[in-house]
Amino acid sequence: MKSAIVLGAGMAGVSTALALQGRGWAVTLVDRKAPGRETSFGNAGIIQSEAVEPYAMPRSIRELVDIAFGQTNDVFYAFRELPFHIGALFRYWWHSEEGRHRAAAIAWASLIAQATSTHEKLIERAGAGNLIRKSGFRVLHRTVAELETALKDAERKKEAYGIGYAALSASEMAAAEPALKTGGAGAVHWLDSWTVSDPGGLVESYADLFQRSGGRFVHGDAATLRRVGAGWTVMTEEGPIEAEHAVFSLGPWSSDTLRKFGHHFPMVYKRGYHAHYRSPEQLNAPVMDSENGYLLLPMLAGTRITTGAHLARFHAGPAYNQLEHAEEAAKDLFDLGQRIEDKPWQGTRPCMPDMLPVIGASQHEKGLWMNFGHGHQGFTLGPASADVLATMMDGGMPAIDMRPFRPDRY
């Protein structure tokens, strides 16, 4: 029987463990925390079949100036942080040019197309249907001009990729979400995306499925991975574990931890924050306040606000200004109620400068594999990217072109 250690039990790692197990492999999943406690815990929980194009960096001078002067809440960075990540940011900017972004989108869309079907199988097997809403989510626009631009873009995506949307007038938006104080200028309703009421809980339920099906989860430190003979060993609370293959699915920790194997992945770290509120009324589905760059999400833990991207060094301290702006902007839309936690949650979207995840074999070490760097959509793409990686590890040929994702492009 083939064997693997999967390092990291976020959405990417747990899905990878399940995909290999499904192919008859003996798999040990290793994390220093319980499954689904980091980035895959605190996100917006949207399985985003509408996210058919990766998130590019703004290229126009106006948008860049707006970001630089804090005129947008989508993206924030502190000038003093810039020298520490300017190289990766510059590469991201370069790859965001229209033609390069179009090429990346072809590869990206081929994975996104598999997102809901691969999740669906796991949701069913895990018995996690109670966490899933299949009613899409709505992007509210405050001005007619913004709504018109968004509708044009939605129509373009519908024609190019076949994804479903509905245009909602202000009154239709207000009727769809009676808890909102206003329908704004109207909304784009993405119909095919699924939303999750407890993202960490979904990962946990997938990890339970893995263990019920005979897989082993142990606490351990991925940084202790080293070669033994033709295989690998890692130190865990249950002693050293050995296997023929090892997979890195450490989300934003992947680049640092892979250095000792001669890999230098330039990651763009996009911090995000969330807080929960005890709201008197519930939303039916997530609402994005587009012009203010945040989401309002009905979660089991309360209404969750998630913020846009704070571009920072991985270990930089928090900056709560985006969350504070979101709370202020939300007052016009919704009665948030009391904040539940004293301290907001923070996590980091693991983004690659070319906007594509790293999926495939190490060019330096035999039996070392990678599945990380899914950026804004790792929760969506976990099972789809696990499926193609497991196919490759098992000696098969995935149905999609894997060349854009290969690790040796860096």
Ligand X SMILES: Cc1cc2nc3c(=O)[nH]c(=O)nc-3n(C[C@H](O)[C@H](O)[C@H](O)COP(=O)(O)OP(=O)(O)OC[C@H]3O[C@@H](n4cnc5c(N)ncnc54)[C@H](O)[C@@H]3O)c2cc1C
- Could you give the CA distance from residue 365 to residue 241 in angstroms, rounded to a whole number? 18
Binding flag, residue 268, ligand X (CB under 6 A): no
- Could you give the CA distance from residue 408 to residue 410 in angstroms, rounded to a whole number? 5
Token duo for residue 273: 């924050």
102: helix, coil or strand? helix
User: What residue has token string 């996100």?
Assistant: 43
Binding flag, residue 31, ligand X (CB under 6 A): yes
Backbone torsions φ then ψ of 365, nearest 5 degrees: -130, 125
Are 316 and 81 spatial neighbours (Cβ–Cβ below 8 Å)?
Answer: yes
Binding flag, residue 33, ligand X (CB under 6 A): yes
Closest CA to 335 of 325, 347, 327: 327
- Name the percent of the chain in helix, strand, coil, to the closest 5: 40, 25, 35
Write each residue from 42 to 81 as x if it is in contact with ligand X (CB under 6 A), else as -, in one continuous string: -xxxx-x---------------------------------
Task: Find the binding residues for ligand X in span 272-291 (CB under 6 A).
Answer: 272, 274
CB of 44 to ligand X, least distance (A): 3
CB of 381 to ligand X, least distance (A): 6
Write each residue from 189 to 228 as x if it is in contact with ligand X (CB under 6 A), else as -, in one continuous string: --------------------------------xxx-----
Write each residue from 226 to 255 as x if it is in contact with ligand X (CB under 6 A), else as -, in one continuous string: -----------------------xxxxx--
Q: Is the Cβ of residue 172 or residue 327 nearer to ligand X in the bound state? A: 327
Are 277 and 338 spatial neighbours (Cβ–Cβ below 8 Å)?
Answer: yes
Q: How many residues does the chain have?
A: 410
Q: Is the Cβ of residue 185 or residue 357 nearer to ligand X in the bound state? A: 357
Which residues are bridge partners to 369 per DSSP?
A: 247, 361
Binding flag, residue 5, ligand X (CB under 6 A): no
Q: Is the Cβ of residue 148 or residue 242 nearer to ligand X in the bound state? A: 242
Q: Which residues have C-beta within 8 Å of that of residue 315, sequence separation ≥ 6?
A: none
Instruction: Choose the stretch contacting ligand X; rule: CB under 6 A; options: 25-33, 71-79, 385-393, 399-407.
Output: 25-33
Binding positions for ligand X, rule: CB under 6 A: 8-13, 30-33, 37-40, 43-46, 48, 221-223, 249-253, 257, 272, 274, 306, 347, 349-350, 372, 374-380
